[in-house]
Amino acid sequence: MGGIAGLFHPGQSAGLAPTPEEREALYSGSTFAGDRAFLVAQPRSTIARSERLVVLVSGHFDRAPNTAQSAAELLLEYWDRQGVAALNNFEGAFVAAILERPDANRGPRLHLLRDAFGIRRVYWACKEGRFAFANAVRPLLALPWVSKELARENLAEYLSFRYNHAPRTLLRDVSVLPAGHHLIHDDRGTRVEPWFNLRYAPPYADLPPDPPTLKELEQRLNRAVASRASGKDRVGVFLSGGLDSSAIALFASRLGPVHTFTVGMQDAEGDETPYAGRVANLLHTRHEVLRVAADDFRDAMDAVIGRSDQPPPDPAAMPQYLLARAARPHVDVILSGDGGDEVFGGRMVGLLAQEMRISSVLARLPGRRLFAGVLKNRPELLERAAPFGLARLIGGVHAFDHLARAAILRDPGYVRHGVRRFCLEPLYREVSSDPINEILHVYLRGRMAEDALPRAGTAASLAGIGLREPLLDRDLVSFLAAIPGPWKVRRHLGGSITKWPLREILKPVLGRQLVSRPKRVLPGPWRKWLDHAADRPTFIDDRIAALREDKFKLFLPGAIDTLAMAAGGAVLRPGSEAQLWTLILLDGWLRDVGVS
């Protein structure tokens, strides 16, 4: 979908002339050479220049002050006047590079920018005075001075979460810019700073009144969808039948006829497609259902791994790509519901809200420390100074805990017992609000930016289709962040109603039954494939056999056999299926990238 890349050596006394190997490694397209930089913008990315600045942008602005100009021209104009504050004028999914040309007081300076929530990604490598960047990993790895060595010290983090938190990656020489951050590189070195921070409701803030708040929320949702669905492009919606995609389809349908798409896996353990069909009928959309077979999954797995900048974290990445490919002949841009759980208060905080209430009661009991053994599963009561979410190490997927890592990793030095707290604590320090909002923030900055968005972006890019994320509209997210978490997750009959505002908005249109059904992830047969050998496609056996080879010398002898047996046992050990898939996808990616 268009990319940007470049080389920048600010400490070099002469001009920068890229070698033939470096030119071949980087993209082809519009170029700028000068001021110790060599910059490239692929077609569908934009480049603009002035006497003081050179600006490259990959991505799009959904709302901008002047749509007659290209994204690079707009950013150049505003950056020239406002510097990094210029980004407050733009809404969208983008990464950008800005070269500030030298003047009498200083040498050249390069800036890299990533959108507020990390919908797009930009990577960099810095080694022995040389600096390179690209919005994909493989161009950097093709540079002769960037190694393909595995960053083994980051492996425990990956195994715990199924992803690494920016700026860390699984590659020794490659870093990724965190969402909403700004990198500066010049002859003084590299600095990374945030340019965007959400302002959350303070602790113990009063709940807002329901009717006017819901009305304002509905208006902001409408603007978020309209700004991404209006224009010359043919627009469709990925419709799962859940609250997030249903809300997007509702507001899109009010703008005109809508094409919706749903994916279902053959032999899946649960079929969600009827729910999506009911929503489509109620909204009068043109609806299509894609059925994915095992052979389709196999082919998609090779394609997705070959395009991914990190190991695909979930088997659901493959049906996502196939759905995007099926939608491409019909639409140019697809709207996705990513972000709904993290913004509105989804399934990850439903049970936790109840647990928080129980802990609040227990914390007031006299002599509670006498019952430390009974309360060992409530670390928040023994660590009162820490946020509830941090005490419980909540944030992202729990794939391999330290005991599971110790059971498979060959080198005990890479098990890293405290890696989960090491990764989560900085994210919890960014926010001071009620426990629900704090947990939502960590999911937004962690799992959303490092797992869900790269997965959806890879699928769309591979299919050649534009992707828009209305629920990550900055105006909408900021509005909801400023509202206390208990307004979004309501107490009800001893339990909790998650995403309460979305349910209230959708209820008059879809009815109580559809909006009240439990949230489910994309169902698939991948658990069944590992649990029953008779149902397992041969390519899964091939992948497990490749994993057993242990090409990268990561695992203890017999560890993969033990895990595969657990996954295929008569009684599935909790988590073993997800763990085995994590390792299968990791091994496939390491081989494809050529990691050493």
Q: Give the pLDDT confidence of 206-247 residue by residue, as tens digits.
A: 999 999 999 999 999 999 999 998 776 799 999 988 999 999
Specify the 3-state DSSP secondary structure of 60: strand
Q: Read off the pLDDT of each residue in 354-358 and give the average, rounded to a whole number.
A: 75
Q: What CATH number should be reported for the domain whose range is 4-194?
A: 3.60.20.10
**pLDDT at res. 339:** 94
Q: Which of 104-118, 210-224, 256-270, 306-320 has the lowest mean pLDDT?
A: 256-270
Q: Read off the pLDDT of each residue in 164-174 and give the average, rounded to a whole number.
A: 97
Q: Read off the pLDDT of each residue in 456-465 and give the average, rounded to a whole number.
A: 93
Residue 368 has pLDDT above 60, yes or no: no
Residue 347 has pLDDT above 80, yes or no: no
What is the domain partition of the chain in residue ranges?
Answer: 4-194, 199-519, 526-593
**pLDDT at res. 173:** 96
Largest CA distance in the chain: 74
Q: Which of 3-17, 365-379, 455-469 has the lowest mean pLDDT?
A: 365-379
Stated pTM of the model: 0.93
**pLDDT at res. 377:** 73
Grade residue 14 by pLDDT with cuts at 50, 70 and 90. Answer: low
Q: What is the mean pLDDT of the chain?
A: 89
The per-residue pLDDT for range 121-141, each reduced to its tens digit, is 999 999 988 899 999 999 999
The per-residue pLDDT for range 552-577, each reduced to its tens digit, is 999 999 999 888 887 766 555 666 88
Rounded distance between C-alpha atoms, residue 41 and residue 347, angstroms? 40
DSSP-derived letter for residue 201 is P
- Measured CA to CA in angstroms, residue 435 lies from 377, 474, 477, 481 at distances of 18, 22, 17, 12
**pLDDT at res. 354:** 75
Q: Read off the pLDDT of each residue in 250-260 and give the average, rounded to a whole number.
A: 94
Cα radius of gyration rounded to whole Å, the chain? 24
**pLDDT at res. 104:** 76
**pLDDT at res. 19:** 82
Place of tokens 């220049």: 49
Residue 374 has pLDDT above 60, yes or no: no
Q: Which helix (H) or strand (E) holds 214?
A: helix 210-229
**pLDDT at res. 508:** 95
Q: Which CATH class is domain 199-519?
A: alpha beta
Task: Count CB neighbours of 234 within 10 A.
Answer: 14
Residue 505 has pLDDT above 80, yes or no: yes
Q: Which residues contact 358 (CB under 8 A, 6 or more apart)?
A: none
**pLDDT at res. 533:** 66
Q: Which helix (H) or strand (E) holds 569?
A: none
Tell me the helix, strand and coil percentages in the chain, rounded to 5.
45, 15, 35
Q: Read off the pLDDT of each residue in 130-155 and give the average, rounded to a whole number.
A: 95
pLDDT above 90: percentage of residues in the chain: 67
Rounded distance between C-alpha atoms, residue 438 and residue 202, angstroms? 10
**pLDDT at res. 13:** 61
4-194 and 199-519 have identical folds? no
**pLDDT at res. 201:** 97
Task: Count CB neighbours of 207 within 10 A.
Answer: 14
**pLDDT at res. 133:** 97
